[in-house]
């Protein structure tokens, strides 16, 4: 669910997870398998990527994996 303030709310295993920052853009880009480099390029192309985007991307992926939202194959 897209919230009015730009965040995205997800229900995962009966747990509500709210994504902010790069999270909503990242979530939308994960509609198909992509490498970290592809994600970074797409975020940069959208203009949503700050200078430390790679570190933020790595952190976001770790957090999504820890919450069970993202599984890497």
How far, in Å, CA of 59 to CA of 8, rounded? Answer: 17
pLDDT score at 14: 87
Q: What confidence tens digit (pLDDT) does each residue in 3-40 have?
A: 889 899 998 888 898 988 888 888 889 889 999 899 99
Average pLDDT over residues 47-69: 84
Confidence at 41, pLDDT banded by 50, 70, 90: very high
pLDDT score at 49: 66
Confidence at 72, pLDDT banded by 50, 70, 90: confident
């Amino acid at each position: 669910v897209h919230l009015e303030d730009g965040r995205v709310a997800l229900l995962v295993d009966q747990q509500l997870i709210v994504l902010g920052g790069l999270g909503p853009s990242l979530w939308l880009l994960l509609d198909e398998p992509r490498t970290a480099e592809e994600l970074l390029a797409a975020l940069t192309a959208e203009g949503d990527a700050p200078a430390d985007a790679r570190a933020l991307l790595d952190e976001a992926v770790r957090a999504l994996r820890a919450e069970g939202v993202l599984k890497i194959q």
